[in-house]
Structure 1
Amino acid sequence: MARKNLIGISMDDNPTAEASAPMTAARPIAGFVSPVARSAVPVGGITKTLGNITQKFERAQDLERQLAEGQTVVDIDPALVDGSFVSDRLGVDAAELAQLVEQIRDHGQQVPILVRPNPGAMGRFQVAYGHRRLAAVKELGIKVRAVVRELSDDQLVVSQGQENNARTNLSYIERALFAVRLEDRSFSRDTIMAALGVDKAALSKMISVVRQIPIELIEAIGAAPEIGRRRWMELADLLPKGKVSELLAILSQAQATALSSDGRFQAVVDALTRKPQQTKNARQARSWAAADKSVSVTSKAAGKGYTLALKSTDAATFGEFITEQLDDLYTAFRNSGTKATGD
């Protein structure tokens, strides 16, 4: 009687079949074939060649796994990467960018950016999110680590908005401006709400604020990270009281450009709420009265005008007297050397 195989394994089974089984579970990559076991151990250059093939195969397996997860990270020349077709920022803070450059210089780019093949330029890419990281690696002169995915326009802006909501803490006005730019490109309200993570009512307020405040004024103020929805809505309500050109002139002055973005916002509010100042001459209104109280005179300057008001019993006769003396009075005024300023 033949002895039973106590461990249940036939000696005729292919010893490599089980080992190669996991490979068949993943989609094979063209150009990479699993190395075949040999009975004899190769030596010299053949050993080196087979070693390289094995390493390539292992890398291919890892690449295939990442592809299946949609998280393949590749190194791309930053010069080939274009920005998103819709901006979500009012500039990059120089101090924050310098800090990010130092972090990447010391520790490398830990978080990849997300890009898609640029639909308008073959061989180039377009950023969904990671604009600051892209700017930082450009400064360092190194390649950018990126995940490349095929994305529709809707998918790109949703990814862009959701990543920014999670990471970069965009200010209220930047988010509102992003919403308006998307609407101007005919994106649906549902897509915009998904990108910003807001409901219909909040989105309507965002769009309303930006529609009431000219874009050039928003850009002159900047991101204003400490200014929230309520204060931007208050500014929108105040704005009809002021002229945008005058506000832009205020913000262009050296004193205003030295302020933070929040400070520039406050400067605009102050300019809109400040009470009109009296002119210098208006503050110099004078009054005179005769010793016998028979006439009193009040004089007041206003711009290029000057008024005399006469009151009391002799007001009419004294006024006529002054009128008859105007020629002589003006001649005396000119001869006195007093310069007419027109004020």
Structure 2
Amino acid sequence: MARKNLLQGLMDQAKTEPPAPEEPQQRAPRYAKGAIGAVSQSIADLKSRSVVELDPNTIIEGGLSDRVEHDEAEHATLMESIRTYGQQVPVLVRPDPQDSERYRIVYGRRRVLALRDLGLPVKAMIRDLDDREAILAQGQENSARRDLSFIEKANFARQMVEAGYDRKIIADALTTDKTLISRLLQVAESVPVEIIEHIGAAPSVGRDRWLSFATRWTEQEIQPDQGIEMLDVYACDKSDDRFDALFAWLEKREKQLKGGKPVPLADSPPAPAAEKRALTRPDGKRLGQITRKGDKLRIDLTGKSAQGFDTWLEDNIERLHRDWLANRDEDGRS
């Protein structure tokens, strides 16, 4: 009864007291006033931070492309990781304004593709973001992960310019200063998009080499089809090697042009760069590294982490090779 009388008193007081005047442009949202408003705000905050499961087929592309190639090996590795350990980090999506049943990806494209191929739901955070907010979130998430190569950042910056964003917004999105933005755009504006896409991410190639590449490309007035033809001649599997091959050709072509010599389309491809792969133990700790360059393979094991495996391998490697030869002969392979 006491609670009822208290509520009645509050209602009577609300009827008799005149409403307080509202200050222009400072009125708080309705949910922000009083105890009920506080609860409503808390619920809204919780919903904005909550993670939901979505059908990957309801998530479509959105925003700008921050990758210049789809790496099947990385895709397979990511799928295997998610298959084994599950999706550890949620993606960010926003409602599609044109279809209430769909969402547009802000960041986490590779995770969505992997989960789609695995037939698993996507753990996602849903935010109501406009185009500018979505691009800022995408760029800042990429910068925090630090896994975009220089040319991928350059390509991302180019797309933002074409979409009409000023350099301050681009700098905020990539969490960098205007000086680096100028360098990124200098490369993106000098090197045709077709060449960037054919080379790929080139993760080990930094700013200085890309700037040198862009300068030579512009000075020699190379056409995109010439560069693509060169890449087809070299036929390198890795993006770093494709960059190296094309860069070496530009350097040689520059010397030949200065010397007044004819410039052939291509010579023999340069030696491929060494391929390195980390070896890990079942507990995730580093075991060593495998390095392959051409037809040579080197295995480096850390004695402390190997825990005697290095000695065992040294003693048994010839026997392992004999067993491999025997099994290969039994299978009928030469």
Shorter-chain TM-score bucket reads 0.5 to 0.7
Task: Give the match for residue 286 of structure 2.
Answer: none
Offset, 1:123: 1.8
Task: Say if 1:248 and 1:269 are closer, same or farther in 2 by CA, change over 3 A.
Answer: same
Q: Distance in 2 between matches of 1:162 and 1:156?
A: 10
Q: Does 1:272 align with 2:250?
A: yes
TM-score (norm 2): 0.62
Instruction: Tell me the SS of whatever aligns to 1:216.
Output: helix
Aligned pairs for 1:1-343 within 5 A: 27=39, 67-68=45-46, 70-167=48-145, 169-239=147-217, 240-241=219-220, 242-253=222-233, 255-256=234-235, 258-274=236-252, 275-276=255-256
Aligned-residue offset at 1:252: 2.0
Aligned-partner SS, 1:225: coil
- Contact preservation (8 Å) 1:66, 1:72: no
Looking at structure 2, the residues matched to 92 and 219 of structure 1 have their Cα atoms a distance apart, in angstroms, of 10
**Residue 266 (structure 1) shift:** 1.0
Measure how far apart 1:67 and its partner are: 4.1
Structure 1 unaligned segments of length 5 or more: list them.
1-11, 15-22, 30-63, 280-343
Larger Rg: 1
1:148-173 deviations in whole A, cap 9, x for unaligned?
A: 01001111001001111112510000
**Residues 259-303 of structure 1, C-alpha deviations (whole Å, 9 max, x = no match):** 310111111111112254779xxxxxxxxxxxxxxxxxxxxxxxx
Q: Aligned in 2, Cα 1:105/1:168: closer, same or farther, shift over 3 Å?
A: farther
In 1: Cα distance, 2:151 partner to 2:92 partner: 24
C-alpha spacing 1:86/1:27, structure 2 compared with 1 (3 Å) = same
Instruction: Give secondary structure in 2 for the equivalent of 1:169.
Output: coil
Closer/same/farther in 2, CA of residues 182 and 120 from structure 1, 3 Å limit: farther
Note the residue ranges of structure 2 that are not aligned, 5 or more in a row: 4-34, 264-334
Deviation at 1:69, TM superposition (A): 6.5
Q: Distance in 2 between matches of 1:75 and 1:138?
A: 13
Give per-residue Cα distances to partners, 1:99-150, cap 9 Å, x unaligned: 2111211121111100000123332100111011101101110110100010
Report the 3-state secondary structure (helix = DSSP H, G, I; strand = E; otherwise coil) of the residue aligned with 2:92. strand
Equivalent position amino acid for 1:139 in 2: D
CA RMSD of aligned residues (A): 2.6
Please give the secondary structure, in 1, of the residue aligned with 2:39.
coil
Q: Structure 2: how far apart are the matches of 1:227 and 1:71?
A: 37
CA deviations 1:49-78 (Å, max 9, x no partner) are xxxxxxxxxxxxxxx758437211111111
Higher mean C-alpha deviation, range 70-79 or range 236-245: 236-245
Amino acid across the alignment from 2:170: I
One-letter amino acid of the structure 1 residue matched with residue 94 of structure 2: R
Deviations 1:161-207 (A, max 9, x none): 11111125100000011011011000122211111011111111111
Secondary structure of the residue that 2:94 maps to in structure 1? strand
1:92 Cα offset (Å): 2.9
Percent identity between matched residues is 38
Report the Cα distance in structure 1 between the residues aligned to 2:69 and 2:262, rounded to whole angstroms. 39
Q: Distance in 2 between matches of 1:270 and 1:28?
A: 63
Equivalent position amino acid for 2:103 in 1: F
Query: Quick one: structure 1 residues 104 and 273, their matched pair in 2 at CA, closer, same or farther if it must change by over 3 Å?
Result: same
Conservation of the 8 A alpha-carbon contact between 2:95 and 2:128: yes
Structure 1 residues 208 and 28 mapped into 2: Cα distance closer, same or farther (>3 Å)? closer
Letter in 2 for 1:144: V
Q: Aligned-pair distance for 1:27? A: 3.1
Structure 1 length-normalised TM: 0.60
State whether residues 63 and 131 of structure 2, in contact with CA within 8 Å, keep that contact through their aligned partners in structure 1.
no
Moved more, 102-111 or 125-134: 102-111
* Count of aligned pairs: 225
Offset of residue 91 of structure 1: 1.9
Partner SS, residue 70 of structure 1: helix
